[in-house]
Amino acid sequence: MPNQYEPVIGLEVHAEMQTRSKMFCSCAVVDNTVAEPNIAVCPVCAGMPGTLPVVNQRAVEYALRVALALGCEVNYTSIFARKNYFYPDLPKGYQISQYETPLAVNGQLTIKTSQGEKIIRVRRVHLEEDTGKLTHIDNGSLVDLNRAGVPLLEIVSEPDMRSVEEAKAYAEALREILRYLEVNSGDMEKGVIRFESNVSVRAAGTEEFNTRVEIKNLNSFRALERASAFEIERQSKVLAAGGTIEQETLGWNDVSEKTYSQRSKEDAHDYRYFPEPDLPLLVIEKDWVEQIRASLPELPRAKFQRFVKEYGLTEYAAGVLVAERAVADYFEAALKAKKVSAKSVANWIVGDLFAVANQAGETAANSQVQPEALAELVELVDGGVINQTTGKDVLIEMYQTGKPAGEIVEAKGLKQVSDVDFISKIVGETLAENPKEAASYKAGKTAVVNFLFGQAMKKAAGKANPTVVKAELERQLGL
């Protein structure tokens, strides 16, 4: 059965625009996971009668950054509309959103999958306001309006994804872009990005789309993946048994890992959209759009391609560096600081620096070790002043003490020894002390050379140049 049905997935992503103030009032946008409830609320976002909304220009700018980064066409005139429905977290009884004329349309996002790159079309990008938050307790529910009126960007894809992997890649790529654009922290656990997955399946090889379901409020990549996979499986079974899929809105239970019905098509909301009478048309000047376009940072995909091409990095290393803009910047700052090999610097960051920073509960980019300091270490290792193993120890010490690599090497006498006479003596002693191994090497057990190499390095307190040691070992063993 698995290959008989093909999934069709379209995603709606809600991302908070993390401006200083809210969408239509001057209340602060606060971190909901730490702020006291209802500390950032005023009559406007509490929906008091007689108050008037005012558009936050910065929120529009953030939204335009995203729209332009996704290659959308901007609607120079867009319309805010009221989306009417009742829910206790929505004090006005309607959400100000965009409906018929959204801020921007027809964009695209290129994703990377195991099958290569794929373009996912973006249907629309529009601005709206977030709702408040309900906490359900034993004898009622608590309402926190800190989040009510926070600028929210909705990004709607075309149903272009054909697997859970693609849906996840799209969601991740979008999160990466939002972070690059500095409009959203990407802190999924704080709920600043939420997904809705629209899922249908169709017989493999057919063109027509089937009825879809919409799974609401997925707050993590894991939930997005699991919920979508669950639906694909469920719908495939229904179709295989000759049944039909009902169009409905589903919720996702993270504990039981099952979707559940929230409402069917019959009781779908009629939102009675109409233009918001308290706001003028949103008219955007072309000059402003072009200014914003010109100020966009280099985006992850372009950076990735440049890192591979310009620096000859592996796709793996480039991918890891580019995933965080700060790490990519760190990498390039190290290269600027000294004339060192880009590949070496990349390897040190992706390998040891990540490991050391991770252990200290920090991120590589704002670690104790500055890019210049790492570059110095790389210079010492690549220049043969210290060997790779010593370099790793030095990095740990740099991390702990903040001292530069050169100083640590000097103070501890860690300079690597390449002197052939010295190494020749060490190797000679090693062979004399391990006659059995030396003999078995000569008898053809060549793997034992690794043991002898290790012993010789140990004897030299790790400071011997490994290349010279290897050569000398081979020479004395009569190769």
User: Cβ of residue 28: shortest distance to Zn ion, in angstroms?
Assistant: 9
Nearest-angstrom CA–CA distance, 284 and 312: 42
Q: Residue 337's closest CA among 367, 314, 370?
A: 370
Please identify the residue of the shown chain whose CB is closest to the bound ligand ADP.
Answer: 10
Nearer to ligand ADP, 265 or 412 (CB): 265
Nearest-angstrom CA–CA distance, 369 and 377: 10
User: Cβ of residue 12: shortest distance to ligand ADP, in angstroms?
Assistant: 5
Nearer to Zn ion, 42 or 323 (CB): 42
User: Cβ of residue 280: shortest distance to Zn ion, in angstroms?
Assistant: 20
296 binds, among Zn ion, ligand ADP, none (CB under 5 to 8 A by kind): none
Nearer to Zn ion, 146 or 259 (CB): 146
Tokens 């252990």 belong to residue: 359
Nearer to ligand ADP, 152 or 456 (CB): 152
Query: φ, ψ for residue 3 (rounded to 5)?
Result: -95, 0
User: Cβ of residue 201: shortest distance to ligand ADP, in angstroms?
Assistant: 8
User: Cβ of residue 93: shortest distance to Zn ion, in angstroms?
Assistant: 16
42 binds Zn ion (CB under 5 A): yes
45 binds Zn ion (CB under 5 A): yes
12 binds, among ligand ADP, Zn ion, none (CB under 5 to 8 A by kind): ligand ADP
Nearer to ligand ADP, 209 or 274 (CB): 209
245 binds, among ligand ADP, Zn ion, none (CB under 5 to 8 A by kind): none
Nearer to ligand ADP, 157 or 455 (CB): 157
87 binds, among Zn ion, ligand ADP, none (CB under 5 to 8 A by kind): none
Nearer to Zn ion, 11 or 25 (CB): 25
229 binds, among Zn ion, ligand ADP, none (CB under 5 to 8 A by kind): none
In angstroms, how far is the first alpha carbon of the chain from the final one? 60
User: Cβ of residue 62: shortest distance to ligand ADP, in angstroms?
Assistant: 22
45 binds, among ligand ADP, Zn ion, none (CB under 5 to 8 A by kind): Zn ion
The 3 state secondary structure assigned to the chain is CCCCEEEEEEEEEEEECCCCECCCCCCECCCCCCCCCCCCCCCCCCCCCCCCCCCCHHHHHHHHHHHHHCCCEECCEECEEEEECCCCCCCCCEEEEECCCCCEEEEEEEEEECCEEEEEEEEEEEEEECCCEEEEECCEEEEECCCCCCEEEEEEECCCECCHHHHHHHHHHHHHHHHHCCCCCCCHHHCCEEEEEEEEEEECCCCCCCCCEEEEEECCHHHHHHHHHHHHHHHHHHHHCCCCCCCEEEEEECCCCEEEEEEECCCCCCCCCEECCCCCCEECCHHHHHHHHHCCCCCHHHHHHHHHHHHCCCHHHHHHHHCCHHHHHHHHHHHHHCCCCHHHHHHHHHHHHHHHHHHCCCCCCCCCCCHHHHHHHHHHHHCCCCCHHHHHHHHHHHHHHCCCHHHHHHHHCCCCECCHHHHHHHHHHHHHHCHHHHHHHHCCCHHHHHHHHHHHHHHCCCCECHHHHHHHHHHHCCC
Contacts of 285 (CB under 8 A, 6+ apart): 76
User: Cβ of residue 2: shortest distance to ligand ADP, in angstroms?
Assistant: 19
Nearer to Zn ion, 41 or 164 (CB): 41
User: Cβ of residue 91: shortest distance to Zn ion, in angstroms?
Assistant: 10
Greatest CA span in the chain, whole angstroms? 96
User: Cβ of residue 148: shortest distance to Zn ion, in angstroms?
Assistant: 8
How many of the chain's residues bind Zn ion (CB under 5 A)?
Answer: 5
259 binds, among Zn ion, ligand ADP, none (CB under 5 to 8 A by kind): none
Nearest-angstrom CA–CA distance, 252 and 264: 15
User: Cβ of residue 96: shortest distance to ligand ADP, in angstroms?
Assistant: 17
Nearer to Zn ion, 93 or 243 (CB): 93
Which of these ranges, 9-17, 44-52, 378-386, 467-475, lies near Zn ion under the rule CB under 5 A? 44-52
Q: Which residues pair with 23 in a beta bridge?
A: none
Nearer to Zn ion, 45 or 369 (CB): 45
200 binds, among Zn ion, ligand ADP, none (CB under 5 to 8 A by kind): ligand ADP
27 binds, among Zn ion, ligand ADP, none (CB under 5 to 8 A by kind): Zn ion
Residue 146 contacts residue 113 (beta carbons within 8 Å): no
159 binds, among ligand ADP, Zn ion, none (CB under 5 to 8 A by kind): ligand ADP
User: Cβ of residue 161: shortest distance to ligand ADP, in angstroms?
Assistant: 8
Residues at the contact surface with ligand ADP, assessed by CB under 6 A: 8-12, 156-159, 198-200, 209-210, 212
25 binds, among ligand ADP, Zn ion, none (CB under 5 to 8 A by kind): Zn ion
27 binds Zn ion (CB under 5 A): yes
25 binds Zn ion (CB under 5 A): yes
Residues that bind Zn ion (CB under 5 A): 25, 27, 42, 44-45
